[in-house]
Each structure stands twice: as structure tokens, then as C-alpha cells.
Structure 1
């Protein structure tokens, strides 16, 4: 059953969309935690090799997420306008768009990953393990990319429970497949680290069959011929226009992490370790908020297509309200248990102390993330994806490059200058976002007034 996102009560819609999405995000995060844990059981070198693969893997993730965002927006807009034929064309073209990019990323990755890893200092067993893991992952990129698009199709129709079911099932399957493929048995050879990658792409492949069958049964996927998947300039152009800025915005996160890590490294490896642990704690605290991104994008996309701008304002207000409540709970819990949380990951007193100081500042940034996530999702829903990229460039690159040297070095605040720099850059970006989004919403409302 599909809920009409343009007429049903908004509070119920947000809960119906956001809660399953939030649960899905949690199990997806735990999926990656399990992979990391099993890699650590193999060896420190295997764990380092998996970490070395992250920048290349993140490119696949960013492109997939960008295509998903663009597909959700365009399909949702078409559905909101009552153009089901156009929506179905975007469904089919999104699938082929994902296939084309998956093939391209696989080819480029297989060609350039060895050079990238050597440039990053890998050699010998370290390099061999990284390539073994990455090559298997790249060969399965097509399954991951299709799942991104199929989740977008479901989200645009107001269905987030189906993808949640896949993520929950994939988590439990991975618990079984990881050790089986790593250590072998029952006719399966011992594969070590590549076995973890094979377990991942196996669950993704199973997800393809499950999601495709669900899309067909729900009527979201029309019957089609292979010829209808052939690229069409009009639809590919729209998907590129909406999806690529979102993908590039995600890629700025990698640059931002590099900048923070580089400055933190000036104050010792304990500070770098504290930042790494602190970001994991932060991610866990923000998980309940992540579902609001999906609900905001889906609701905004359909209502923008339908011209229901008052409902968009209502979606923003309620999503921010729910997000602030969740952020406040996260802030209180992190402040109350900061020492215990850091101690769960490290026994080094210097790491724990540096991490606690980081969390005591970062906990007050959680509401700013709510503003950023919800407002950026709303702008993507009203077909303004370029704003997300601009704010990402400011928050992840431009502002930190200025704030960190000023606070940490010139003013002599040391490592606390970095932590306060993150606070200032994130909150300043949130303020810019609020001002911009308020202006855009008023402008859209004014443009739709009768002459």
C-alpha cells in the first residue's frame, strides 16, 4: 500500500517514512561494524588494508547516493504532478543510469586502484590484501548501485519499510557469511579478507532480487523491454543535473575528514585516535536523525511537484522539531557518558581525555546537523541540489582551512582550537542554510500566488 504524500497528514507521514529509514540506517551501520570487527580478527594488516580501501569505496558510495537522491527527487516530482507515465520513465532510466555508472566505476577502479594504493604507501602483503578486497568490491558495485536506485524508487512512492527489511536481513546474513567466506568450510575455500567483500556483494545481489520483486508486486516498476532501458538524453540530463551535485557534496566529506585529521595530527597520534573514536560516537548519536533526511526528501519532492508549498513548510517545521528533540537526547547522553563511551574504544588515558574534550564540544553541534540535514534534503526535493554542494564546500573545506590555523595556531588554542573550529564552521553553515532555505521557500510561495 502506498500513502499519498500530497494529502495524508504530515506528522503521520514523517513517522511512517522516517522510523523505518532510521532503523535501516542503524542496521547498515552495524553491517559495516561487523565487517570491520571480522577484519580485525584476521590481522592488523587486514584491518589496515580495509581502511586503505575506504577512499575508493566512498566514491562508489557517493555516486550511488547522488543517483539515489536525483531519482527520488525526479520520480517524486513527477508523481506529485500526477504524471505517472513520466515517473515510470524516470524509474526505468534511473535503473539504466545506475548500470552505466556501475560499469564505468568498476572499470576505472580496477584500472587505477593499484596506483592509488601504491601512492598511499601500500606494498607487499598490505598492498595484496587491499587489492584483493577492493577488486571483489568493485566487481559487485553493480549490485550496490542498483539497490541505491531501487531504494530511491521506493522512497519516492512513500515506501521506506521495504528497504529497511532488506537492510535488517542483510545484517543478519552478513553475520553468517563473513566467517564462512573468511575461514571456509562446507565446500567454500578459505578466502580471508576478500571473503568479507564477497559476503557483502552476496547480500547486495540477494537484495537486487528481493527489491526488484517487491517493486514489481507493488506496481512501482512497469513491465518493460530492454530497449526502454536505452539511455535517453532528456532523462539522463535531468538525473545528472540532480544527482551529481549531491554526489560531489558527499565527496567533500572525505576532504573534510582529511583536513581535520591533518591538523589533529600536529598534536599527536592520541588526538587523531580520539577524533576517530569521537566521530564514531557522534555517528551513533545522530543515527535516529538520519531517517528524517529520507522523509523530508520524499515529502518535499512530491509536494513540490504538486505545488503544495504550504505542506513543504509544514514538513520542514515538523522535521526540525522532531530532529531537535532527538538531537537533545543525543546531546544529554553523550555529555553524561562521554568518559564511558571513549573508554569502550580505548584504554589509553591520553586518548580518552582528548576524546572527552572533543565530545563535550561536539555534543552541542548535534542541533546544527539537524538544520543542515533537513534543510539540504528539502532543497534537493525542490530541485536545487547545487546548494548542497556549495554548503558542503564551505563547511568541509573553505571554513576549516581558515578557522583551524587561526584558532589552533595563531591564537594558540592548540587542539581545542580544532574542536571549537568544527563547532564554529558547522553552526555558521547551519545559519547560512536556514537563511537561504527561508528565502527560497518564501520565493516559491510568492511565485505561485495568483496575479
Structure 2
């Protein structure tokens, strides 16, 4: 069987806690950088362009989260396939996954760019974006759509590397992207010299340029260092729509993508509800969600780390390490997520003042945080458990769990509470939804048949 070379990171041996922490920290720091980038953009927009502009970018960013969820599933399926291939020491299969999924990503990105650019205004109208925010949101979103191919492929390459056990290299290039974006933001927002004042559109231009430069730099780095999963001329045969890989990417990736779409569409539904209370409420919710995005980062980083560790150990047949990875992931989540939640509770007003100037908006944001933040610790447990379950290819129950908790519980409850008792009541739908999801996720982990799932379905006439 083909062996992987030293460029891959072996996660099937050695102390699990240390490997999990060393893998998760660069992912966490990368997530922090991406959110820090968005936060700084929001600070520029919210403090210098006003609440309407801030509400506009909040609405547009929810749409971008929805779009990224489209590729998350395929990227995650690729990550798991590569992790299992590395664990089984099958480099050829890993390259088959890279070639097929790369071609798939490029095609999907081009289609989404074309559709999104044309229908930006229509999408924002569907979301009931406040009229005073529409011009800002439309200009911002159209430019973001132009950068979708770079964003998609950038995220794809990073997920491939993480699947192979390398979380450090993606972090360095995320750092590069963030620095460039932060530096270019005031230049394009306010205009300097020959560069015109673009306002919210300028924040989008800075983001697209930063991601393009970082993507090119990452690809150049991979080929200069002769990264073992790079595709050379000799590997051209892998750049095709391999039937077996495509079936797996669609069969396993589609439910994972749908799970993220369930999350993003439920967020859009909540934003649409909040929009009906006016720009002040939208701005407050946008600021609170900026803070909650930081609270979710440890869980997301640990969830991604446990999925990669578990995938390699599933490929190697080391189930005892898979279970230990789950327990350690939950423990790390309690410490890291709980610590962040406590910190924001202490500095609640000061944190919201980074984005908001109006006292009424700040008061709304503080109430949102008081009611919702603690429940993100529960969200972290669900994310860790689902990450381990997905590592085997068991993807349907996590999807159904998300759908039940969000679309059957949180969204209807939010609309009921909001329409019946007012704005302050609807936030209780968040902790209730999180409680439902953790019960279902843990029950499936303990009693479900996820251990028997497989990522690749053997082709007819071939041995498994």
C-alpha cells in the first residue's frame, strides 16, 4: 500500500491531549483572526458610517455564512476522507480526493458567483433588510460575491491541509490575510489619494484582495516546499470527477453542508425577525453575534480538531483513541468556552461599545448576551460530539439534530416569543434550542450505530 511521507502529521500515536491541543490551537487562532478581521471591519463601519451601514454588513455577512455552508460539507467530507487515508497510509487515495474535490469546488464557486452577483438585491429584500440599509448592503454583497471563488478555494485548501494533520501552515496564511485586510480597510472605506471613498463596499474590496493574495501565497508555498498532497503534472490523472470520490463527497458532504445551511438559514430567519423591530435592534443583534462568534471559536476549533484526529484513528482502526479524543474535546470545551463566556459577562457593556454608540442599542445587546451566552457551552459539547461522529461518515443524525433543534424548536419559538411578548423574549429560543441539540447528540453518541458508518462505498466488482 502506498505510504504517506513525512509531510503528513501522524495523529494515531502519542499523547492524545497534547496532539489535540497542538492541533486545535492554530485552528482556534485562525478562527480568532478571521473574526477579528470581521470585527475590525464592523468597528470601522459601525463607528464611522453609522448603525444603518452596520446593519447592512450584518445582513450581508449572514448571507456569506450561508454560502460558505454550501462548501463546508464538501470540504469537510474531503477532510475526513484525507484523514482516513492518512491513517490508513494510503497517499494515492488522498490525492484522488484532492483532485476531484478541487475541480468540484471551482465549478461550484463560479456558479454561485454568477447567481449571487445578479440577485444580490433580491436576496436582501427576501431578508427584509431595512430600507435605510439596502444601498450599503447591496454594494457590499455584490463585491463579496466577486470574491467567492477565492474564498471557496482558500477554505478548501486549508481544510485539505488540516485533514492531513497540518493546522499550522493554514494559520500563517490566515494571519497574512488578516493583516492585509486590516491595513486595506480604512484605505478603501474612506479613500486615500487616488482611491475613492467606497464606504461599506470598501470593506468588501479589502476582504477580497486580502484573500486573493493569501490564496496565491499559500499555493506558491505548497509547491515550493513540495507538499506531499500537491498535484503535479504526473498527478494530472487525479484532476477529474472520480466517480467513487464524487459519490462519497455528495453522499456524505451534502448532509454536512445541509447541516451548515440549516444553521445559516435559521440565523437568516432570526435576523429577518429582528429586522422587523428596526435598525437599532438589528445593529444590537449584529454586535451580540459578533461577540458570540468569539465564544463559539474554541468549540469550533476543538470540533474540527477532534474530527481530524478521530478520522485518522478510524482509518488506523484505533477506536480506543477515538473515544478518548471525544472526552478530552468536551473537557477542553468547558475550560475554553466557559472562560470566554465569563470574560464577556464581566465586560459586557465595554465589549458592545466597540460596535455600538447608541445607548438603546447597547441595552438591547446586553440583554441578548445575558440570556444567550452561557448556552454556548452546551453548543460546544454538541459540536465536539458531532465532530467525532462525522469522522466515520455518519452524517444524517447530526443533520437531523440540527434541523430539529433549530427549525423545529428555535426559529418557531423565537417568532412566537417575539410576536407575543416582544423583542426581549425571543432570545430565550437560543438556550432552549441548544439544550435540545445536546440531548439528541449525546444520546446518539452513546447508543447510536455511527461506528459502523463508512466514507467510501466500494465500486462494483472491487474489494472493499
For normalisation by structure 1, the TM-score amounts to 0.86
Q: Distance in 2 between matches of 1:435 and 1:142?
A: 39
Q: Secondary structure at the match of 1:8?
A: coil
SS of 2:427's partner is helix
Counterparts of 1:132 and 1:405, CA distance in 2: 30
User: How many residues in Structure 1 have an aligned counterpart in Structure 2?
Assistant: 443
Match of 1:369 in 2: 379
Measure the CA separation in 2 of the matches of 1:43 and 1:405.
28
Deviation at 1:32, TM superposition (A): 1.3
Match for residue 213 of structure 2?
206
Aligned equivalent of 2:247:
237
2:229 alignment partner, one of 195, 220, 229: 220
Answer yes or no: is 1:82 the counterpart of 2:89.
yes
Structure 1 stretch displaced more, 127-136 or 15-24 = 127-136
Q: Does 1:16 find its partner at 2:26?
A: no
TM-score by length of 2: 0.84
Name the residue aligned to 2:310.
Answer: 300
How many Å separate the matches in 1 of 2:348 and 2:129? Answer: 35
Residue 331 of structure 1: SS of its match in structure 2?
helix
1:253 to 252, 263, 272: 263
Q: 1:424 aligns with which of 432, 441, 464?
A: 432
Q: Deviations over 1:264-317 (max 9, x none)?
A: 678887665544433333222333333212211111111112221111101001
Q: Provide the rounded CA distance (Å) in 2 between the counterparts of 1:282 and 1:149.
A: 25
Displacement of 1:234 in angstroms is 2.1
Range with bigger deviation, 354-363 or 149-158: 354-363
2:296 to 286, 291, 313: 286
| CA distance in 1 between partners of 2:125 and 2:285 (Å) | 26
CA gap of 1:285–1:127, structure 2 versus 1, over 3 A, is closer
3-state SS of paired residue (2:393): coil
Separation in structure 1 between the aligned mates of residue 282 and residue 199 of structure 2, nearest angstrom: 29
Which of the numbers 5, 12, 20 marks the counterpart of 2:11? 5
CA distance in 1, matches of 2:169, 2:198: 32
CA deviation after TM superposition for structure 1 residue 47, in Å: 4.2
Question: Match for residue 449 of structure 1?
Answer: none
Give 2:3's aligned residue.
Answer: none
Q: How many angstroms does 1:4 deviate by? A: 0.5
User: CA offsets, 1:169-208, max 9 Å, x none?
Assistant: 1111112222333455566555554433232222212222
Structure 1 unmatched ranges of 5 or more: 446-451
CA distance in 1, matches of 2:142, 2:416: 42
Which consecutive residues of structure 2, in runs of 5 or more, have no partner in the other structure?
1-6, 454-464
Aligned partner of 1:69 in structure 2 is 76
Question: Taking structure 1 as reference, are residues 324 and 128 closer, same or farther at Cα in structure 2, changes over 3 Å only?
Answer: closer
Does the 8 Å CA contact 2:333/2:380 hold for their aligned counterparts?
A: yes
**Which residue is 1:336 aligned to?**
346
Q: Following TM superposition, by how much is the alpha carbon of 1:159 offset from its aligned partner in structure 2, in angstroms?
A: 0.7
Contact 2:28 2:301 in 1 (8 A): yes
Distance 2:299 2:308 in 1: 15
* Distance across 1 between alignment mates of 2:187 and 2:360: 38
- 1:121-150 deviation digits (Å, cap 9, x = unpaired): 689996665444333322221111111111
Alignment check: 8 A CA contact 1:259 1:400 kept? no
Deviation (angstroms), 1:80: 1.7
Preserved contact between residue 55 and residue 279 of structure 2 (Cα < 8 Å): no
CA-atom RMSD in angstroms? 3.2
